[in-house]
Structure 1
Amino acid sequence: MLRSLELFAGAGGLALGTELAGFHSVAAVEKDKWACETLRQNKERGHPLVRNLRVISGDVRNIDYDSLPSDIDLVSGGPPCQPFSIGGKHQAHRDDRDMFSAFADVLSAVRPKAFIIENVKGLTRSSFTNYLHYIELRMSMPDIGMREDETWHDHLKRLAAEETSTGDKGLRYGVVRSLFNAADFGAPQKRERVFIVGFREDQDAKFEFPDETHSLDALLRDQWVTGEYWDRNQVAKKDIPAQPIRMKRRIERLRERNDISLSPWRTVREALQGLPEPRRDGRCPPGILDHRLQLGAKVYPGHTGSPIDLPAKALKAGDHGVPGGENMMVRPDGSVRYFTVRESARLQTFPDGYVFHGAWSETMRQLGNAVPVVLAQSVASEVAKHLLLAKGREIAKRKAH
C-alpha cells in the first residue's frame, strides 16, 4: 500500500486525487478552520475517499511528524498561491504566506520517496524565474535549510554551490516541473496549474508527466464540423449559438484534418448535466447537496462570466468569490447567474457526494483555491506508477543477487 501525507490540504482536491490514484492518505494538514470542517464533515459522513483520513488542524511548521507512520511514500500539497497568483500582490518570498521552505522542511523530516507540489501559473512568471529556481533547488536538497538571518538569495547561492560539489548533500530529490491546463485532462474548466514533482535519489524512477487526454480542437470539430456535440447534448437547432468568429480559421482547418485522437474538452453544459436549475427560494432540490441559488449576478466590463458551451474560466477565490465574473455562467441567450456550490464542485471535478462547509462565499473560496480532482489524479497516478515500477526493479535486483 502506498502511503501519502497531504499538506495545505484545503477542501481536499489534491488529497482526493491522490486517493483515487491509489495512495492511502495517513493525514491531511490544514490550518484554515472552514476547510478543516469540510474535510471532517465528509469524513463523518463516511465519504469513501476521506472516511479514514486523519485531519490535523494547524500550521505545517508546527506539526509533530514523528507521530505519523515512518514509511510515507508521498508528500503532496499546494503551498498558498497568493504570493504568486495573477490576482495577488506578486510578492513571492516577501509574502509571509510563502510556504515553500516549510514544505522542504517537511520533506527533510518525513523523507518520502516522492513529492508533488501544485501551484498557480503565476509562479512561472519571468519576474519569479530566480525564485522558482530557488524553490526547485530547495526541494532537491531539503536537508540544506536556510540559516538564521540568511536571505533567500544567499541561500540560493549556497544551494547552487552544493549542487555541483562532491560532498554529502544529505537527502536528495530529482526534480521536474510542468504546466498543465486542467481542461486538457477532462476537467470542464480552463485552469492552469504548475506541478513540481520529485523522486528521492535512491528510487530507480525516470518520471514522465502524463499526456493530455482532451483538446480544444476535438471540441471545435464536434461542435462546428460534425455537429456531434449538439446532438450528444440534445441541443435544439434553434438553441445552437452562432459560430465564434475568432475561431473561424481554426475551424476551417479542422475540416481538413482526420488526425484528432484526443477527446473533446468538456464544457459547462456537459458538467452540469442532470442538475436542475437551482430554486429561487434558497432551498436545495431533494437529494442534491449544496445547490442553492445565489442572487445578484451581473455583466459589466471585466465581469463577463463563462459561456456554457466551453470549459468554464478558472474559478477564483476572491473576497466575494466572484472578482472577475469567472464564477458566473452565461446562458446561450446571454442571461447570467452565479454557479451554485454544487455546480462549482462539478467544475472542479469533486464527487457529487462531497459537501462543503460554510456560507456560499466561504465555500467558493475553498473551491477557488482547489486543484481539480481529475488533474491531481492524473499526475498522482503517474507518480504511483513510477514508485511501483521502482519497487519492482528493486525486488528484481535483490532476487538477482
Structure 2
Amino acid sequence: MTDLHVVEICAGAGGQALGLERAGFEHALAVELDANAASTLRRNRPAWHVVEGDVADPGTWTPEDYRTVNGEQLDLLAGGVPCPPFTIAGKQLGATDERDLFAWAVNLAERVRPKALLLENVRGLSANRFAAYRQNVLDTLQSAGYAAQWKLLHAADFGVPQLRPRFVLVALLPEYAEYFSWPEELPDARLTVGEALECLMAAKGWEGAKAWADGADDIAPTIVGGSKKHGGADLGPTRAKAAWAKLGVDAKGVADEAPEPGWKPAEGKPGPKLTVEMVARIQGWKPEDKWFFEGRKTTTYRQVGNAFPPPVAEAVGRSIARALRKEGERNELVEATETVHDPVYKLLRGMERPLGIDQIIKRLEKYGQHMSEPEVERHLAHLERDFIITRVPRSSGALGYQLGEFKAFVGQEGHQRHELFAVNQAKIS
C-alpha cells in the first residue's frame, strides 16, 4: 500500500504507469483511448480502474470527481499526451492538430487541483517553433498557482538501451515545489543493445547470439511506435534503419520469434529482426515485470513503441514523491527565476494595443533582449501557428501586431478539435 495516488490520462500500455507504480504511486484511475492498450492495462493490473475512451470527452470521465482520493487531495495528475503535434518527423501543427491535448491537460490541472502534474512528450516540443506554446503553458500554470519547469531527459541515462529524448514538464504547488529536484543521471546503468537482448536472442538456441550481442555494442536509435495511419510494425525511417543495421538488426519489420539453431541472415540482411518482447526490453520493461501486451503483433508493437520508458518514469516519479513528502533540501522556486521561452510572446501578451516590429525591438531592448527584424518576424510566424495574430495598419504605413487567443483545445465546446477528432478517430493512436 502507498500514501500517494495518481490519475493518469493517455495511459497507453502502461510504461509511465509501471514506472510510477515502482516509484510508490497507486493508480486511482487510468484513461486510455486505444482498446488494445486499455486491455493491456486491465490484464496486468486488474485492480486498477481503467476507463476506455477519449479523455477529453465529458462522457468518458468527470475530472472533478478525482480532486480527492480517500478523502485526501489528489497527489499526482500524469500523462503522456499524443506527440504527433510536436514531432519533428511530422508537420508540427501544434495547437491546430486535433490530437493535441497538451494545453488541455495543463488546464485540467486547474479542474482537478492535484498537488503535482507530470506530462511528457517528444523532443520537438523543446524546439524554437514551440517557444510561445511552452511560455503559455508556464504562464497558465503559474496563474493557477503552480511552479512549473521543463527538462529534456535522455532514456539512456536511466538504464534504457535506447536514444530516446523526452521533454518532461513537472509542476507542483509551491509548498512541494521547493523540495523538487530532477533525478540524477545514472551513467553506471547504461546498457548496450547486446547486453539487454543477448538472453532473448539465445532463447530458442541460436548459437550466434553471443557473437551478435558482442557486435551490438551501442544503444539503439529511438523506438518508433508509429500510428494507425501507417502500415505494420517497423523500427523507423531510413536513418533509423541504417543505425539498426550497424547493430546487426534487420529493422524492416518485427519477428514473431527469436532465431532458432542454425539461423543465418539472408543475403544483404544485417542480422535478425527483433521480436515485440525484445523491443519492450529496449523500451525499459524488465523480465520481472511480467508485463503482457494485448492484441496482435502490429498493435502490441505500437503499444510498446509509443510508451514512456518505465525506468525514466520511475526516476521522475521518485523525485516527485520525495517532493510531495517534503524530503531533502529545499530549493529556490521556479517563479523566482522567471523563465522566458519566448520574449516576443511575453511582450505582446501584456499589451492592449498593437505593436509594430520596430516597437517590439525597442521594448525588448529595455529588458535586455536584442533581436533583429528578421528574428522578430520569425517569432511572429511561429506565434501565428498557435495563436490568433491581428494585423493593424499604423499611420507610418507599417503593420502593428496584437496577440489574440490561443488556438489550442482546452475544452471549448465549439473548438474544431471535436469535428476533426470524430472524423479521424479511427486513425488516432
> Smaller-chain TM-score range?
0.5 to 0.7
Aligned counterpart, 1:350: 285
Is 1:316 matched up with 2:213? no
Aligned counterpart, 1:56: 51
Q: Provide the aligned length of Structure 1 versus Structure 2.
A: 283
Could you tell me whether the CA contact under 8 Å between 1:140 and 1:172 is conserved in 2? yes
Could you tell me whether the CA contact under 8 Å between 1:13 and 1:376 is conserved in 2? yes
Equivalent position amino acid for 1:380 in 2: G
Please, which of 13, 25, 33 is the counterpart of residue 11 of structure 1? Answer: 13
For the structure 1 residues 60 and 273, does the alpha-carbon distance in structure 2 shift closer, same or farther, using more than 3 Å as the test? same
**Which runs of 5 or more residues in structure 2 are unaligned?**
206-214, 250-264, 331-429
Aligned counterpart, 2:248: 331
For the structure 1 residues 60 and 392, does the alpha-carbon distance in structure 2 shift closer, same or farther, using more than 3 Å as the test? farther
Separation in 2, partners of 1:373, 1:204: 23
**Which runs of 5 or more residues in structure 1 are unaligned?**
44-50, 142-170, 215-262, 280-284, 286-306, 394-401
3-state SS in 1 of match to 2:298: helix
Aligned counterpart, 2:168: 195
Aligned counterpart, 2:309: 372
For the structure 1 residues 208 and 336, does the alpha-carbon distance in structure 2 shift closer, same or farther, using more than 3 Å as the test? same
Aligned counterpart, 1:256: none
Please, which of 172, 175, 184 is the counterpart of residue 145 of structure 2? Answer: 172
Equivalent position amino acid for 1:339 in 2: L
> Post-superposition shift, 1:53?
1.4
Matches within 5 A, 1:269-348: 269-277=194-202, 308-318=216-226, 319=230, 320-322=232-234, 323-324=236-237, 326=240, 330-331=247-248, 335-348=270-283
RMSD between superposed Cα atoms in Å: 2.5
Which stretch shifts more, 196-205 or 324-333?
Answer: 324-333
> Post-superposition shift, 1:135?
2.2
3-state SS in 2 of match to 1:196: strand
Is 1:73 matched up with 2:75? yes
> Post-superposition shift, 1:372?
0.7
For the structure 1 residues 80 and 9, does the alpha-carbon distance in structure 2 shift closer, same or farther, using more than 3 Å as the test? same
Give me the identity figure in percent: 34
3-state SS in 1 of match to 2:168: strand
TM-score, normalisation: structure 2: 0.61
Matches within 5 A, 1:11-50: 11-43=13-45
3-state SS in 2 of match to 1:361: helix
Separation in 2, partners of 1:52, 1:69: 20
> Post-superposition shift, 1:38?
1.2
Separation in 1, partners of 2:30, 2:9: 6
> Post-superposition shift, 1:114?
0.6
Separation in 1, partners of 2:190, 2:53: 38
Please, which of 192, 199, 204 is the counterpart of residue 267 of structure 1? Answer: 192
Separation in 1, partners of 2:104, 2:304: 23
Aligned counterpart, 1:112: 114
Aligned counterpart, 1:154: none
Separation in 2, partners of 1:385, 1:357: 34
Aligned counterpart, 2:178: 205
Separation in 2, partners of 1:100, 1:271: 33
Separation in 1, partners of 2:281, 2:83: 22
> Post-superposition shift, 1:40?
1.4
Separation in 2, partners of 1:195, 1:212: 15
Q: Deviations over 1:228-258 (max 9, x none)?
A: xxxxxxxxxxxxxxxxxxxxxxxxxxxxxxx
Separation in 1, partners of 2:83, 2:159: 23
Could you tell me whether the CA contact under 8 Å between 1:321 and 1:368 is conserved in 2? no
Separation in 1, partners of 2:177, 2:147: 11
